[in-house]
Structure 1
Amino acid sequence: MEINKRKLRKTMSCLRDELSEDQIQEWSDRIFECIRKHPMYLDAACIFSYVSFRSEVYTWNFNRQILKDGKILAVPKVLEDGKMKFFQVDDLSQLKKGYMGIFEPDASCPEIDFREKALMIVPGLAFDRKFGRLGYGGGYYDRYMEKHSDQLKLCAVAFGCQVISEVPRDMHDFLMEYIVTENECLERMVPNDIRDSGNSGKKS
């Protein structure tokens, strides 16, 4: 299983890296335009986002818009003990280069205080139509969702080329509730059971 995951991560990373900057920007704008019109975003008081790196779905414009929309923006940071936590960011100038060169909240940002109606935007290397996710191998999101999944709606963002027939899954891997690409928005029919791989989804 782990060998298959490593091979797939390499393949999908190379595939995504082939996208041009113009494609990444245009398709990212489409993805977040769709999200901003969807009830999952409109009803959320707090958005757990991320700061895009390399060829990931580009989030800087979206993060700026979250603040303009009057919502709370939470961004992740990997701490020295290897745990990932989210911190409230009030201005993008509070983001500084950190772990692996990824921008993260500086020391002025408080750890997020959990509240109802929170939406998490989840990056990844590959997804499938059973709402499985292949991450980067660090397990940061899975460990975080293990503790907080009942407080978050999970929305994966990806380019269409990242949605494949099937991703390998372990028992601890969490399912997404939504997957949004530049072409479609997929929604799970039974979002409250986030580890039941048998649930199908619908386009919205």
Structure 2
Amino acid sequence: MSELTKAELREYYKKIRKSLTKEEMDYIEKMVFICFTQNGHSHIDGDKLIYVSGEFEIGTRKLMEFYLKDAKRGLGRVLCPRCEKDSNIMHFYVINSFDDLEVGSYGILEPKSYCERVDVFDRPVCFVPALSCDNKGYRLGFGKGFYDRFLADFKGITVGLCCERCVADGELPHDEHDINLDYVITERGWIKDLWTRLIEKGLLI
């Protein structure tokens, strides 16, 4: 499929996502979460930047519940994005519970107006939605470019969430401006393993 353009690949993988049932999506979310917690290294002592999943994105509710509990124990903050439609810019805000979210741009839950915006993060790990990805961490997004712009200046660790059926057979098309993800996980496990690097950085307890 390497001869297809990004736009053609995006449509191809969107069709796959749309074909998945709610039960299949729930299973994928469950298994992705298990991959994070089964090895005992799941408590990350730093900021967690977590997207609030939309209809066709890999679900993040279980991850958010887990890390909100950690935040109450002082193990970093949970931050969620708010997308500014006029400027196509995305900022992250601290949330302490799901009550801090409301329906915002594009019909997706976003932090409410009273939530604290954060521009300087503490040892951050950013969970990134991936419509498709390859084994080098190159990602195909959903087409709006919010994460492409955000990751251009992001200095932390990036983890892409994808479903196994949308992992590319070969390399996805990319250029010198595209940023590959540090790690990628699907319902079958890690494509690029996260934990070794987190241990080296002293971020796991």
Q: TM-score, normalised by structure 2?
A: 0.83
Distance in 1 (CA, whole Å) between partners of 2:33 and 2:48 is 12
C-alpha contact (below 8 Å) 1:31/1:182 kept by paired residues: yes
Query: Counterpart in 2 of 1:162?
Result: 166
C-alpha contact (below 8 Å) 1:124/1:158 kept by paired residues: yes
Rate the CA distance shift 1:40–1:67 in 2: closer, same or farther, 3 A: same
Which stretches in structure 2 are left out of the alignment for 5+ residues? Answer: 198-205
Rate the CA distance shift 1:55–1:138 in 2: closer, same or farther, 3 A: closer
How far does the alpha carbon of each residue in 1:105-164 deviate from its partner, in whole angstroms, 9 at most, with x for none?
A: 11011112533321110002110112110112222112111122x2x1000011101111
C-alpha contact (below 8 Å) 1:35/1:180 kept by paired residues: no
Distance in 2 (CA, whole Å) between partners of 1:156 and 1:123 is 6
Structure 1 residue runs of 4+, over 4 Å off?
Answer: 37-41
Say if 2:157 is the partner of 1:153: yes
Rate the CA distance shift 1:106–1:176 in 2: closer, same or farther, 3 A: same
Distance in 1 (CA, whole Å) between partners of 2:160 and 2:174 is 16
Deviation at 1:81, TM superposition (A): 2.1
Distance in 1 (CA, whole Å) between partners of 2:40 and 2:113 is 33
Q: TM-score, normalised by structure 1?
A: 0.84
Deviation at 1:22, TM superposition (A): 1.0
How far does the alpha carbon of each residue in 1:10-41 deviate from its partner, in whole angstroms, 9 at most, with x for none?
A: 11011011111111111211102212456885
Distance in 2 (CA, whole Å) between partners of 1:81 and 1:104 is 16
Query: Counterpart in 2 of 1:115?
Result: 121
Query: Counterpart in 2 of 1:19?
Result: 20
Rate the CA distance shift 1:64–1:139 in 2: closer, same or farther, 3 A: same
Rate the CA distance shift 1:86–1:39 in 2: closer, same or farther, 3 A: farther
Code of the aligned partner of 1:164: A
Distance in 2 (CA, whole Å) between partners of 1:117 and 1:57 is 24
Identity %: 26
Code of the aligned partner of 1:77: R
Q: How many residue pairs end up in the alignment?
A: 188
Query: Counterpart in 2 of 1:177?
Result: 182
Which stretches in structure 1 are left out of the alignment for 5+ residues? Answer: 193-204
